[in-house]
Amino acid sequence: MDPTDILQLSLVVPVFNEAATVDLFLARISAVFANEPQIMLDIVFVNDGSTDATLALLLERQKTDPRVRIVDLSRNFGKEAALTAGLQAATGQVVVPIDVDLQDPPEVILQMVERWREGYEVVLGRRVNRDSDSWAKQVSANWFYRLHNKIAEQRLPENVGDFRLMDRCVVDALDSLPESRRFMKGLFAWVGFRTAYVDYVRPARVAGETKFNGWRLWNFALEGITSFSTEPLRIWTYLGAFVSLISFAFATFIILRAIIHGIDVPGYASLMVAVTFLGGLQLIGIGVLGEYLGRTYIESKRRPVFLVRRVYNAKD
């Protein structure tokens, strides 16, 4: 592409109770793109069922800022669904999902655009440190990536969130994926394409509070692993084979001992241990099976990922 051409860039911004951050976000965006005449910007806010003044505030800002578009969802569907909605609504030649709390610094987008002009179709924002995250979040994220990358077919790049630039062909590919349980990080990795990185330091949230507490993150991690790997199902075959082997050896030992020393009644302890151990093992196995069965069940309903109450374009 000729560098003097106008580039249409869509930002996709999921917002859930973010009245405290919207204005700060818009001010930063305006400052960053003020000197970029070659970039034509539009900002798709996806209101993910906010219960505060977020929607009213966005509508107010839209009156004076024609770049603002709003997709209002019928309730809170979660960030993954909101991103899906935003990607489908975005019309730009390149699309950048970005958090409204300024943890994804908008300045980085300009560097991403440069890499895109070099011919990359995906430019990932990579955090060089996670100091702004709590210690527990850093440790759990680290473990999650290690486990996930060991057992899933597609590696997730580490220290990369949803903040990235994607070419139109990548967005079209994502829009065409049919599943309704959407773990976006995994889907982003799954579609592939020529990928480059831009490093940045992730700052703390400018205002408001994080929407992801410990339990939500745990479920998010389970979602990630069960979406992209069937190893947790397969492991039971091997575990079962291993336990059978041990019990076979133990049986041989008991029979031989009975033949040599005669029948021996005590053995309550070993019996109990074997029964409870195997009972526990079987329940875990059934639990894992249930996890996947549940996913299949939900997927088989073919419900839409999100519902839109209304789309507000600047002209309406």
Burial of 46 (0-12, 13-18, 19+ CB in 10 A): buried
**How many other β-carbons are positioned within 10 Å of the β-carbon of residue 23?**
13
Q: What is each CA distance from 217 to 36, 167, 221, 274, in whole angstroms? A: 37, 29, 6, 35
Interface pick for Mg ion out of 103, 159, 227, 229 (rule CB under 5 A): 103
Interface pick for Mg ion out of 42, 72, 101, 162 (rule CB under 5 A): 101
Least Å distance between CB 212 and Mg ion?
8
- 18 near Mg ion, judged by CB under 5 A: no
Least Å distance between CB 54 and ligand UDP?
8
- 212 near ligand UDP, judged by CB under 6 A: yes
Q: How far apart are CA 57 and CA 114, in angstroms?
A: 33
User: In the structure encoding, which two tokens stand for residue 313, read together?
Assistant: 């374009």
Counting Cα atoms < 13 Å in the Cβ hemisphere of 189 gives 18
Q: Residue 78 touches which of Mg ion, ligand UDP, none (CB < 5 to 8 A by kind)? A: ligand UDP
Q: Residue 160 touches which of ligand UDP, Mg ion, none (CB < 5 to 8 A by kind)? A: none
Where does this chain touch Mg ion (CB under 5 A) — which range of 70-78, 154-162, 164-172, 204-212? 204-212
Q: Closest CB to Mg ion among 101 and 167?
A: 101
Residue type, 290: G
Q: Are 107 and 202 in contact (CB under 8 A)?
A: no
Q: Site residues (CB under 5 A) for Mg ion? A: 99, 101, 103, 205
Question: Which residues contribute to the site for ligand UDP (CB under 6 A)?
Answer: 14-16, 18, 48, 76, 78-79, 82, 99-101, 103, 205, 210-212
